[in-house]
Structure 1
Amino acid sequence: MVELVWNNPKIHRIQIELPRNPLKNLNIYVLQTPERSLVIDTGFNDPACHEVLWAGLEELKLNLSSTALFLTHFHADHIGLVWDFVERGVPVYMGKREYEYTKTISAEDIVGGMNEAFSQEGFPGGLQLRHLGESKGRLEIPRTGFPVNVIEDGEDLPMGDLKVRTICTPGHTPGHTVLYLPEQQLLFTGDHILFDITPNISIWPSVPHSLADYLESLKMVRKIPVRQSFPAHREAGEDIYQRIDQLLEHHRCRLDEIRQTVIDHPGITAYETAGLIHWSLRGLSWEMFPYNQRWFAMAETLAHLYYLVDAGRIVRDESGEFVRYYCWQ
């Protein structure tokens, strides 16, 4: 349940299973010094997640009066149990850019706004409604309004003599933030860099350039000296720089694949594009994709289409019932 993953400073991992979720698990990290402790992320607002998390924290014998919680981003598997900490008097920290985005928009607004955009991009309405219903039942999001201590990009968290620096890495979410220990060269990557799977990069209401943000964030992190990284899901790899290069190459290939699909099918919609490109989901055909996975695939396809439009590599036609894409070579 609790695993020591680094000795100086002491860093433990509490691995929480995420039921019915392709991510499979969430890694919650606990940094401990003689003076202070820091918990990174929480798991879903779910009884099973609650039980595993608090059993792990009790095993570590945390003094909650000298403990803080940091939230890397607003996804439900990372902030779901935030009220558990608030109600115990634990201060909560979040990066400023992420907080500024989340305080202006609700989860319902995000899903509703994306569904509206999806309608224009050819996504079937029945699938949208079904996904929205599944999301409300499956992703248990905490009630809003919890108190947050906002941290500026590059600011250190209050961890005594241990320097724990925040680095804003937008892309996976508009203000996703990683934590960096400069003296030890340790990096808590959140969902920005994962080693066994590729982070989902979607469009967001009022943030259509998420892929451009993500690629720039990857290049920025590549300049940081990192001895060991700690991802939020699955296992860590040995070489973060190699993984960054793999992720950059993945998106370069994906952009080329999508552009070629537009060339081969002039006037194609985003939904049709998503159905023609390659996805790694246990060999399932597009028609067999679970509805929620089709929804996320659509969001990622749009992020790449928007990037190509902004780069002038394809054009977007909004004159008809659905938005259609062309490439004039």
Structure 2
Amino acid sequence: MNLSESHRLFNHDENEGDKMITQVYSNIYKNEILLPNNPLKAINSYIIRGEDRNLIIDTGFNIPGCKDAFMKGMEELGIERKKTRLLVTHLHSDHSGLAAALQKEGVTVCAGAIDGRLINEMTEEAYWDRFKDYGRLFDLEKDNISFHDHPGYKYCPKEPIDFIYLKEGDVLKVGDYTFEIVDIPGHTPGHIGLYEQKHKLFFCGDHILDKITPNITFWGFEQDILSVYFNNLQKVAQYDIALLLTAHRSTIKDHRKRIQELLEHHRLRLNEILMIIKESKKSVRDTAAAMHWELRYDRWEDFPNPQKWFAAGEAMAHLEHLVATGKAEKIKESEIIYYKAK
């Protein structure tokens, strides 16, 4: 389950100025595409230019403003659509939103198999109907919540995409670069990244971000997604990386330091939630309402619907991890799930 293409919640000021194409490495450019009325502000779409073929990583929302910025970036660098592959690192709509439209214009579209299939499922209303059940399960019916105003629903691709599916170890050659696909699930079930060994570059999507914390949310009871994320943070820590190119905010030069900061963030988060559910059982919604969020809102009741989905999903991922590690128990009553510390 996921509606989120966002991350840890935080305050922001809208920056309405146009972003520019900037070179971040030899023949590698960052197209910073604005995400209107979204706390993430912008996405870093990367363009790798080669003589015979080009590669672009991630797209922005499925809205005219993002498409205009995306196409202007290609035009500025003289990128031909039919000589270009788009790689979608994961399913969130700020990364995949324009994939269907770009494929219609001759761009080859690649993704990991898990998230690629989920992106195509998201073009059907049946995918989103499941969230009515999650609303009840999480106790969000107290807030009369809907997903229809959520950017994940509004800005995702609306038509199926004929993806070229990539798996770990596959290689994409662009100019002087040889990129290897790396599986890094956690933020989504099938998140992928690209590693360039010679130059020690790693395109990590939303797996690791600077300043803000990637949202780790509930994806179903089949796996403890927080443990999956922790394992893949440690996986990336083993790589020799000089520059970590992230999908939001700044690039990262000391990836191991940032990984330790993220692990510490989640350790503190888990301890906070244990204290919330220590004395009595709590629903997911009531747990999320008691947690600390870096928002300008003082009360849970004032949170916009999308932020309530993000917060509940993050709370649920942490609660399920506490159950998986034997620190909490869960009880289901009248279609609502509750958690209590052991």
TM-score, normalization: structure 1?
A: 0.91
* Alignment check: 8 A CA contact 1:203 1:299 kept: yes
State the 1:327 CA deviation.
2.1
- The whole-number CA distance in structure 2 between the counterparts of 1:59 and 1:105 is 32
Find the counterpart in structure 1 of residue 112 from structure 2.
Answer: 95
- The whole-number CA distance in structure 1 between the counterparts of 2:24 and 2:176 is 21
Find the counterpart in structure 1 of residue 68 from structure 2.
Answer: 51
Q: CA RMSD in A?
A: 2.1
Q: Deviations over 1:186-224 (max 9, x none)?
A: 011101111121111111246552212111111111111
- The whole-number CA distance in structure 2 between the counterparts of 1:137 and 1:199 is 16
Of residues 69, 79, 89, the one that matches 1:72 is: 89
* Alignment check: 8 A CA contact 1:101 1:175 kept: no
* Alignment check: 8 A CA contact 1:172 1:192 kept: yes
Find the counterpart in structure 1 of residue 255 from structure 2.
Answer: 240
Code of the residue aligned with 1:231 in structure 2: it is T
- The whole-number CA distance in structure 2 between the counterparts of 1:235 and 1:161 is 24
- The whole-number CA distance in structure 1 between the counterparts of 2:321 and 2:142 is 25
Code of the residue aligned with 2:340 in structure 1: it is Y
SS at match of 1:263: coil
Find the counterpart in structure 2 of residue 25 from structure 1.
Answer: 42
- The whole-number CA distance in structure 2 between the counterparts of 1:72 and 1:59 is 23
Q: Give matches, 1:28-43, under 5 Å.
A: 28-43=45-60
Q: Which moved more, 1:220-229 or 1:313-322?
A: 313-322
Question: Is residue 2:275 matched to residue 1:253?
Answer: no
Q: Percent identity?
A: 34
Q: Which runs of 5+ in 2 are unaligned?
A: 1-19
Judging changes above 3 Å, is the alpha-carbon distance between structure 1 residues 146 and 44 closer, same or farther for their aligned structure 2 residues? same
- The whole-number CA distance in structure 1 between the counterparts of 2:214 and 2:107 is 29
Q: Which moved more, 1:232-241 or 1:66-75?
A: 232-241
Find the counterpart in structure 2 of residue 281 from structure 1.
Answer: 295
- The whole-number CA distance in structure 1 between the counterparts of 2:70 and 2:336 is 45
Question: Is residue 2:219 matched to residue 1:200?
Answer: no
Q: Deviations over 1:272-308 (max 9, x none)?
A: 1111111111363323222210111001100000111
- The whole-number CA distance in structure 1 between the counterparts of 2:135 and 2:224 is 16
SS at match of 1:201: coil
Higher relative contact order (CA 8 A, sep 6+): 2
- The whole-number CA distance in structure 2 between the counterparts of 1:190 and 1:176 is 8
- The whole-number CA distance in structure 1 between the counterparts of 2:39 and 2:330 is 32
Find the counterpart in structure 1 of residue 331 from structure 2.
Answer: 317
Q: Which runs of 4+ in 1 moved over 6 A?
A: none
State the 1:113 CA deviation.
2.6
- The whole-number CA distance in structure 2 between the counterparts of 1:91 and 1:206 is 34
* Alignment check: 8 A CA contact 2:150 2:305 kept: no
Q: Deviations over 1:95-138 (max 9, x none)?
A: 12322444556564454334412312322255322xx2212797
SS at match of 1:164: strand
- The whole-number CA distance in structure 2 between the counterparts of 1:245 and 1:133 is 36
Q: Deviations over 1:63-98 (max 9, x none)?
A: 333211100011111111113321222211111232
Q: Which moved more, 1:83-92 or 1:176-185?
A: 83-92
Code of the residue aligned with 1:90 in structure 2: it is V
Judging changes above 3 Å, is the alpha-carbon distance between structure 1 residues 206 and 258 closer, same or farther for their aligned structure 2 residues? closer
Find the counterpart in structure 2 of residue 190 from structure 1.
Answer: 205
* Total equivalences in the alignment: 323
- The whole-number CA distance in structure 2 between the counterparts of 1:135 and 1:149 is 28
- The whole-number CA distance in structure 1 between the counterparts of 2:59 and 2:336 is 40
- The whole-number CA distance in structure 2 between the counterparts of 1:188 and 1:207 is 28
Code of the residue aligned with 2:200 in structure 1: it is Q
